[in-house]
Structure 1
Amino acid sequence: MERFRKIARNLRARQTSAEAKLWHALRGRRLAGWKFRRQHPINGFVVDFVTLDGMLIIEVDGATHSTPAEMERDAERSRVFSALGFHIVRVTNMDVYENLDGVLDMIDRTLRPS
């Protein structure tokens, strides 16, 4: 477990600009009062963002997530998280850069389904 905490700390220190932009919008309970964590270890993986109360994981995917190997790795991660009761949403870097309000709205709707 300590190994994954070190990995998470390292990832937080060198987050992508898309992750930084989304984190700015999520941190400090800025989205409808939900507490989010960034680069948080869960069951042998480190997720980009998670709200434990909402059981929601948000993954911000760059171009490398479009290769067949990465897509299979992402699918395996999603299977593990789903088995733990988490809902997973994936957004692209471009989604964050070009439509942050839409990303935040989608996250909010996912956390509070009508």
Structure 2
Amino acid sequence: MSKSLLIISRQTPWSGPGAREALDIALAGGAFDLPIGMLFLDDGVFQLSQGQQPGALQQKDLSANLQALPMFGVEDLYASERSLAERGLAGNELNLAVQRLDDSALTALLDRYDQVITV
């Protein structure tokens, strides 16, 4: 039986390769039918904001990769309620449907997965 994997993405979309690497891991694992969840935490919640303009930084847009997650079987998507609030992101400003979790729910989430990767 496959072990479940939670990927925690903590970087902004354009601060380095971390955000893209987290998405690549999730998409690859999903393609192999691994039970995968993805948590957007700290500055990683900025990946969920609408209206990003990556061209201004000569970067590729990550929104297509984010939208592809459910198509690859990565349907358990989460975001820290506190991280969203601290960064002024409301639910209607997100480009992806995620479950918003408070701190106690985050602790329970970590306990549900066999392995956790932080990127």
TM range (shorter): 0.3 to 0.5
TM-score, length basis structure 2: 0.34
Larger helix fraction of residues: 1
TM-score, length basis structure 1: 0.35
- Structure number with greater CO (CA < 8 Å, separation at least 6) is 2
